[in-house]
Structure 1
Amino acid sequence: MQKPLYPLKFNPILKDKIWGGQKLVKHLNKASTSNQVGESWEISDVEGDTSVVINGALKGQSLKDLLKDYNSDLVGEKNYQQFGNQFPLLIKFIDAKQDLSIQLHPNDRLAAERHNSFGKTEMWYVMQADEDANLIVGFNQKVTPEKYLHHLEDKTLTEILNFDKVKKGDTYFIEVGRVHAIGAGVLLAEIQQTSDITYRVYDWDRVDDQGNARELHNDLAIDAIDFNMKDDFRVEYNKTLNQSNPMVSCQYFTTNFIKLDSEVQKENNFDSFIIYICVDGKMQISTSHGVETLKEGETLLLPAAIKNYALKASHAEVLEVYV
């Protein structure tokens, strides 16, 4: 007999990176002795990095196991019909002690043809930023492929890139093909399609301990870049108390911002799982199966089969994500 579904927490998958730091450990209480933790994969179905439940009766079960056992009860009927036993989203926290490489991601068509993968549309929510920290998003002028390649070869690519100084709460929508990079001093939450395909085009000429530069993917990147300059990547949103404030809605995911200072009754009418990412404070989620606490830096998956629940906090800020 199947065990009933309930709000699920997963063991974070920590990734050391050449550019990583200690904010994920010190600020978000991730368990690591490394001083170069760059990413915490909170919910993942990427091959070789599948999340494992750490709470309740299903502890020890992988996300892949749950999809096979619970199907649409876990993810919703329309999502199961579309994605089958693949979970469609990857949720991360990222700490950039140093600048990340300048990069972009391919669209669904290129990713499928080249890598048998989804594309990688994503969004960022800045949780903390050091003074003068910035993000690179898109170009600061009209750029042709020829102009781009000229600057790339001359190592002057940064001259044509758009730098945005950021602070807590700033939110960005990063469409496929858009050149981007997370700057040093930024801690953020990332919501993306399930994909680990990145085309790195410039890595600041840095090398590892053995003197090796990281691989670049310029041959693959050139026909994946969106050269049509758009400045629609900054996300404006309301912060009305105790309600879901729309942030991003695209074909791959919808994300809302909720600022809580009391109890809110909720109903899932989306035919989808709902993910809650606590980006500040502490909250509780109550269902007929009991109460689960969610602290800053923690993530929870509410199965689609759970329709009625409550969120409660004296102070919390959370991202609400569904497909």
Structure 2
Amino acid sequence: MEAMKLLPKGKDYLWGGTRLREEYNKKLDINPLAETWECSVHPDGVSIVANGKNAGKSLSEVIERHPEYLGSKIESKELPILVKFIDAKKDLSVQVHPTDEYARIHENQNGKTEMWYVMDADENASLIYGFEHPVTEDVLKRSVSDGTLDKHLHRTKIKKGDVYYVPAGTVHGIGAGTLIAEIQESSNVTYRVYDYDRTDKNGNKRELHFDKAIDVMDMSIVPDITQKPKLIHCYPGCSRQILCRCKYFEVEKIEVLHGCSFSVLDTSFQVLLCLSGDGGLEIETNRPVRFKKGDCIFLPSGIGRCHLLGEAELLKIRC
């Protein structure tokens, strides 16, 4: 059992930019590079192991052979989450994701609850989260048709370090000039409500999914998205802060100044995503693994005591 650095799958969605290649060392021949699926077994984009005895194998193949790597808490035999970077050079579509119950019936996939950590944002960057006031299907249909949907949507300015929890059913849209780390259920189901009448490289408008979006959308007033203060625990050599905890995942931010230790028990795998800096990961039974900004590491359940060295900011994810 060993820590596995992962190579991502890239996505060239029309709203993407170049920052993941230029600033996060993503060697992917895709333009634009909108997303990198850093830790994924979803068939639309599977991560590849980059080091050790499993180098060159897909993460899904490794987990299929070793389902115990997921941990005793995981009921399914597939990785239940997907971890990605998003570079939004332009606005994403106004969209919504279904619940597990709806998606499993209609899409044969999981639903999609997600969390965003804002890694960087332009001065006037914003995102859409919910509605300004309660709406109805008729109101939405008319506003999409006549291009006035924006007046019903709740838009909020964002800045580096912001955290947003986006449960299934929440209408949303990531705004231009935003760089985000996203942790979500393992799913690729998105229902577009509005896409600004844009066309793809072939001149075709992207498909909208209004009827399904209405089926799953919470059309009540905007939820409370005020960023509540989160307790930061300081230790010699590092600080740690819980960013999000829900039924699907827990996300913790670790700022390593010199060193930081934690344990990976047999209850759940863990994932490290390096947002900045560099360092090394030491595990008792393994050779040290070097990491840098943009790297993602999968830690099998039960791997034991881990020690981070260096100077870096990371997200640590577990189920």
Quick check: TM above 0.5? Answer: yes
Which residue is equivalent to 1:169? Answer: 161
Task: Return the alpha-carbon distance in structure 1 between the equivalents of residues 126 and 97 of structure 2.
Answer: 20
How far off is 1:301 after superposition? Answer: 0.8
Question: Which residue number corresponds to residue 83 of structure 1?
Answer: 76
For residues 163-202 of structure 1, the aligned pairs below 5 Å read 163-202=155-194
Q: 1:216 to 1:302 in 2, by over 3 A?
A: same
1:245-273 Cα distance to aligned partner (Å, 9 max, x none): 11111111011111111212212347100
Cα distance in 1, alignment partners of residues 112 and 232 from structure 2: 27
Match of 2:276 in 1: 280
Residue 94 (1) aligns with residue 86 (2):
yes
**Other-structure match for 2:140:** 148
Structure 1: distance between partners of 2:39 and 2:135: 36
Q: Distance in 2 between matches of 1:232 and 1:111?
A: 25
**Aligned twin of 2:63:** 67
- Report the AA paired with residue 244 of structure 2: V
Deviations 1:108-138 (A, max 9, x none): 0110000111000001111111221111111
Alpha-carbon deviations, 1:222-248, whole Å to 9, x = none? 111012334334554344442431111
Of residues 307, 311, 317, the one that matches 2:308 is 311
Most deviating of 171-180 and 59-68: 59-68
Moved more, 229-238 or 11-20: 229-238
Residue type at the aligned position of 1:75 = L
Question: For each residue in 1:115-172, what CA deviation from the matched residue of structure 2 results, as whole angstroms up to 9, or x when unmatched?
Answer: 1110000011111112211111111222233333332232111111111111111111
Contact 1:132 1:165 (C-alpha < 8 Å) held by counterparts: yes
For normalisation by structure 1, the TM-score amounts to: 0.93
- Are 1:300 and 2:297 an aligned pair? yes
Q: Which residue of 2 aligns with 1:45?
A: 41
Structure 1, unmatched stretches of 5+, are none
Identity across aligned pairs (percent)?
A: 39
CA distance in 2, matches of 1:126, 1:286: 28
| 8 Å Cα contact 1:177/1:225 also seen in 2 | yes
Moved over 4 A (4+): none
Matched, 1:229 2:211: no
Distance 1:47 1:224, change over 3 A: same
* Residue in structure 2 matching 1:26, options 15, 19, 22: 22
Q: Is the 8 A contact 1:235 1:248 kept in 2?
A: no
Tell me the residue number matched to 1:208.
Answer: 200
Following TM superposition, by how much is the alpha carbon of 1:296 offset from its aligned partner in structure 2, in angstroms?
1.6
Q: Distance in 2 between matches of 1:233 and 1:186?
A: 18
